Chain A
Amino acid sequence: MDDRGTPYLRITNLTKHFRVGRGGLLGRKRPVVRAVDDVSFSIARGETLAVVGESGCGKTTLGRLVLRLIEADSGRIEIAGTEIRGLDHRAMQEFRRRVQIVIQDPFGSLNPRMLIGQAIMEPLDIHSVGTAKARRARLAELLDLVGLPQEFAARFPHQLSGGQRQRVGIARALALETDLLICDEAVSALDVSVQAQIVNLLQKLKHERHLTYLFISHDMAIVRHIADHIAVMYLGEIVEIAPKAQLFAAPAHPYTQALLKSVPRARVQERPKLAIKGDIPSPIDPPSGCRFHTRCPHVMQICRSTPPPRTTVGPNHGANCHLLTPALPAAKGQSA
């Protein structure tokens, strides 16, 4: 379904289940969280793919799988044409230089006793890149790139604001020859005035350095601003994937439609629509058939038993919903 040339990142049938809790009596198996289930997508070089969805749908797990911070159960992860799941430790180190992550709370991830300069340089030290002099020059360049004053190199994390720490996280992620940047809620914890600064910085870096982004977020408005393509996840699965303009103009999946309607509009007396009822079900033993069927306003009989296949609804635009499959209405049973 993809006609965008050789992808920089290609994910095929990626699956990760977590066993949780204790095994039950009578030798019952431990419950399984289907955190990422048969997920496929690709991102062309220089593009931004945003992954959106509600809490617990598997966004963070997906990002960590791509970095191999956790190992997948099955599926393929190809970066620039190389399948990385089979790489040994040494070969993987090479890829780690090119794929980096920026997470939500840089405070938690920065060592409180390490100076900002040291923190930014740490990836270069780990990979023993360049002479001491070259590294100092690189540090100056990186601080500049993310818009931090040079003297911040000699500060500690607690002496920086949230937005400044987020810039440190980005500088650190770009210290090596990064091609692919995974941003996991990288701007979510920031105040809007600072959030806008970081969003613009990410946009600028993307153009200047031809970066490819996997941009994980729950904020549809930020995603609309930053993404080229969008994948919508629900309970471990991608339910719709489309170029940004198509997704916002003609969302095909009932969940995507609900998500868009729920976002407050910042217009006077215009209230977000009560698009769907009910809570997000547990990812442990998710609903049978279409996982969205417990909340879907269009649920039909077939939805409860049969997982909907991916249907192409436009160029590079696919969605998994029985309403979109060209089967006979009789086969779908009555609307419930």
Chain B
Amino acid sequence: MAVTPLLSVRGLGVSLGRAALIEGVDLDLMMGKTHGLVGESGSGKSVSAMAIMRLLEPRQFRVEAQRITFDGRDLSALGTTEMRRVRGAEISMIFQEPMTALNPVLPVGEQIVETLRVHQGLNRATARKRALEMLEWVRIPAADRRIDEYPHQLSGGMRQRVMIAIAIACQPKLLIADEPTTALDVTIQAQILELLHELQRELGMGILLITHDLGVVAGYADDVSVMYAGRIIETGTTSQIFEHALHPYTQGLLRSHPPVDRDVDELPTIPGTVPQPHERPNGCRFGPRCAHFRQICDQTDPRLMGFEHQHRAACIRPKGYLFDEPLEVSDG
């Protein structure tokens, strides 16, 4: 397929002092599709998103990239003002805790009105009418009353709906959702995910869905990238990742959370913990925790290698190990 991606990132790296927070991140996201970015805490998901959005403080972080193309433009070449315009109107972001992203002393409707006035130059009355439509669109009950309420008067789920309303107010082409449902209860999570899915179909926007919850990604993403200790270690279509994972870390992650719909005897675990940026080992950074580690794994820092169509993994023995020894865990 020769379709140009909406967002295409190559060789994105961010460092802080001598610590490399993320390295060599590549990412492609198609118009109207969802790309899931998963990984454990500290793996670099948020830093990647912030770097793409150019929201990292330049005096603190060093960001480098071969390219970050969005809708035909190189984001890293844009001036600050132009980038700010892109951020409000064409790329939006929602976060885990909407309370911190919302202004606590401004009624929620006003916050949408402000976005619309700044980015679309609407007058006050039109913007307010539109803000009400937005709140109804994200299915806030009694929106005409809620529009004048403050964030603290709303439940967590409703605050996240308001965040989504602000994010899509200008009909962005790309939505970056960083753990959009992590702070929510499971019944509310289901509602928010379904809402995002419907809005995506109506607006045709691409979504970069960042989460540590593999279950969320399986249901909603078209493609998935798995991060570990600052690198993407496997990427592919959702079914390649969930049904034919190649990297031992991805396999471990998939097995270590128990399924909700069947019983397992013992939970397979990955020994050890995720290394901090300054304690990453030489060679394969998953090496110290990998059941298939061999001396050779210490000698290279494996990069993503292609296997099948789209499916790539950063492991030097991604199939070889299958024959070394019986896998410790069965697929149940």
A→B interface (CB under 8 Å): 54-55, 161-164, 191-197, 199-200, 203, 218, 220-222, 224-225, 248, 258-280
Contact = CB atoms under 8 A, between A and B. Distances in A.
Contacts, number: 138
18 contacts: A54-B185, A54-B188, A162-B41, A193-B252, A199-B258, A200-B267, A203-B266, A258-B187, A260-B260, A262-B186, A263-B186, A264-B213, A264-B218, A266-B242, A269-B239, A274-B191, A277-B191, A280-B188
Contacts of B194: 271, 274
Contacts of A280: 155, 185, 187-188
A55 B189 CA distance: 12
A263 B216 CA distance: 9
A218 B257 contact: no
B70 to A, nearest CB: 27
The 5 A-B residue pairs whose C-beta atoms are closest, nearest first, are A264-B215, A196-B256, A54-B185, A191-B40, A193-B270
Nearest to B40: A191
> Size class of B's contact patch?
35 or more
Contacts of A272: 186, 189-190, 193, 215, 219
A224 B289 CA distance: 27
Contacts of B256: 192-193, 195-196
A54 B187 contact: yes
Contact of A269 (B212, B238, B268): B238
Q: Which residue of B187, B191, B239, B289 has the most chain A CB atoms within 10 A of its CB atom?
A: B187
Contacts of B197: 271
Given A191-B212, A271-B220, 6 more contacts: A54-B188, A264-B215, A267-B219, A268-B243, A272-B193, A275-B187
Interface of B: 40-41, 141, 155-158, 185-191, 193-194, 197, 212-216, 218-220, 238-239, 242-243, 252-254, 256-261, 263-264, 266-271, 273-274, 289
Contacts of A262: 186-187, 189-190
B219 A269 contact: yes
A265 B215 CA distance: 5
B214 A266 contact: yes
B226 to A, nearest CB: 12
A268 B185 CA distance: 22
B273 A221 contact: no
A152 B270 CA distance: 21
B249 to A, nearest CB: 9
Contacts of B158: 279
A196 B238 CA distance: 23
Nearest to A54: B185
Contacts of A263: 186, 215, 260
A276 B186 CA distance: 11
A270 B257 contact: no
A200 B214 CA distance: 20
Contacts of B264: 225
Given A196-B268, A197-B269, A266-B215, A279 B257 contact: no
Contacts of B259: 221, 224, 265-266
A274 B157 CA distance: 14
Given A192-B40, A265-B218, A268-B238, A221 B257 contact: yes
Given A196-B267, A268-B239, A276 B252 contact: no
A149 to B, nearest CB: 12
A163 B257 contact: no
A203 B265 CA distance: 11
B187 A264 contact: no
Contact of A224 (B212, B238, B263, B274): B263
A266 B238 CA distance: 10
A211 to B, nearest CB: 18
Contacts of A55: 156, 185
A307 B136 CA distance: 33
A221 B141 contact: no
A210 to B, nearest CB: 19
Given A225-B267, A271-B220, A265 B261 contact: yes
A102 to B, nearest CB: 18
